[in-house]
Each structure stands twice: as structure tokens, then as C-alpha cells.
Amino acid sequence: MGGAILVLSGPSGAGKSTIIENASSKIGDYYFSISTTTRKPREGEIDGVNYHFVSREEFEEDIKAGVFLEYATVHGNYYGTSLKPVKEALKRGKLVIFDIDIQGHRLVRAKVGDLVTSVFITPPSLSELERRLYSRSTDKKSIIEKRIENAKEEIKAICEFDFVIINDNIERASNEFATISNASRLKLSKRELEKLVANWENS
């Protein structure tokens, strides 16, 4: 199976990380896209696992070379999504998974649209999302309220995605994700389709 790009979006609390973890044994070799940053690693952080840690000079050279899908400066440090590890993973035939917001999905579509399969993952209802966020007891009420407001906006973009997974049962949702992941590897780019048509006509 060849390389492919799978974009996941959905509200915080939808269960995206759990679904990926549960389906990992069924989706073959994959690369989970992580950010590149110029800040120093914190205690316990590992290069290539938590972030790709690079120098400011290296990051700025990559900006000039146009290798970032997106980047920003936060507290004096650069953060961005580099296309270099993505391209390397694709060359190795890996499934590249992005867990990004709806704006990130639009950016990826604009850059490498014909390689992208996208999935929006959501709980069955807003009330269920609220229940999950509050039951985690990991965030302040103000943060949870902000995430709920964000979710109300994110759901409006659901029609922009190829597939939707309603995560009301984690086992079923994980199986659906595995099916979509494996099917995404069969998707041909426009260039590959044109080559197929040319070969078909001339053979």
C-alpha cells in the first residue's frame, strides 16, 4: 500500500486520539504529523516524538524555502507544520495523519489536495460533548466553555470533509476509522490518474 494523507478534525473531546490508538494495529505503517519549533525541549520531551526541535536559523531557512504548511510566532519562538517529514513519510509509503482544525484542513487541501482524505470526528450531540469535557476534570470552566463555542463553529464546516465518524461507540468508531484509513491509501492523485489514462490509451 502506498503513502497517503489523512486529515482528522473535530471538537476537542471527540475522541480522536483514542480512535487512532485503538485503530493503530489495523492501519499499517503511519506517521503522525507533529509540529516543528525553535523553543528548547522541556524536561521529558523527545525530539521527533513531541516536536521537531530546530534552531531559529534552520526554521527561517525553511520559511524561505517554502516548506511550511503554516507557521506562527508564539512567545518569541517559531511553531509550524513542516512538509519535509510529511514528504519523507509519503516516500516511504506511510499513511500521514494530521490532527488539525478546520482552517488547517483547508490549508492542507490547498497544498496537496489530491492526496488528502479527510474525516470529521464528533460526538453524537453538543450535550454529549459538554458531558465529556466536564467529566475529564482536566480544564477550567472558562477553557471548557471556549472549547464548546469553538465546537459550534467547527460543526458548520462538516460538509467540507470526505467522511464523518459519529463517535458514540469507541469500538465502532475505531473500526470505521481503520476502514477509511486503508481506503485512503488506494486514492490516486490527479497525476497518477492522467498517467493511467495515457497508458490505457496506448496499450
Per-residue pLDDT of 109-144, as tens digits, reads 888 777 899 999 999 999 999 999 998 877 788 889
**How far is Cα 101 from Cα 161, in angstroms, rounded to an integer?**
12
Position 2 confidence tier, pLDDT thresholds 50, 70, 90:
low
List the one residue out of 13, 8, 18 whose CA is nearest residue 125: 13
Q: In terms of pTM, does the model score above 0.85?
A: no
Q: What angle do CA 74, 78, 83 make, to 5 degrees?
A: 130
> Do both 147 and 182 map to the same domain?
yes
Average pLDDT, the chain: 89
Q: Percent helix, strand and coil across the chain, each rounded to 5?
A: 50, 20, 30
> Do both 196 and 166 map to the same domain?
yes
**Eight-state DSSP code of residue 51:** B
Please state whether 9 falls in left (phi above 0), alpha (psi between -120 and 50) or beta: beta
> Do both 22 and 42 map to the same domain?
no
Contact 67, 112 (CB under 8 A): no
- The answer on pLDDT for 151 being more than 60 is yes
> Do both 128 and 198 map to the same domain?
yes
| Domain range enclosing 127 | 1-29+93-203
List the one residue out of 34, 19, 60, 46 whose CA is nearest residue 175: 19
Domain end among 92, 122, 141: 92
> Do both 79 and 153 map to the same domain?
no
> Do both 85 and 116 map to the same domain?
no
> Do both 21 and 49 map to the same domain?
no
**How far is Cα 8 from Cα 16, in angstroms, rounded to an integer?**
8
Number of domains in the chain: 2
Domain end among 92, 120, 137: 92
- The answer on pLDDT for 1 being more than 70 is no
**How far is Cα 34 from Cα 97, in angstroms, rounded to an integer?**
9
List the one residue out of 93, 81, 72 whose CA is nearest residue 2: 93
Q: Are strands 77-82 and 163-166 parallel, antiparallel or unpaired?
A: unpaired
Q: Which helix or strand (DSSP H or E) is residue 90 part of?
A: helix 83-91
Contact 94, 3 (CB under 8 A): yes
Contact 173, 128 (CB under 8 A): no
C-alpha cell at 13: 473531546
Query: SS3 for 176?
Result: helix
CATH number at residue 81: 3.30.63.10
Distances (CA, A) of 102 to 40, 53, 142, 146, 179: 28, 25, 22, 16, 22
Which range, 40-54, 157-171, 182-196, is most confident?
Answer: 157-171
CB atoms within 10 A of CB 115: 23
Please give the share of the chain, as a percent, with pLDDT higher than 90: 53
> Do both 188 and 139 map to the same domain?
yes
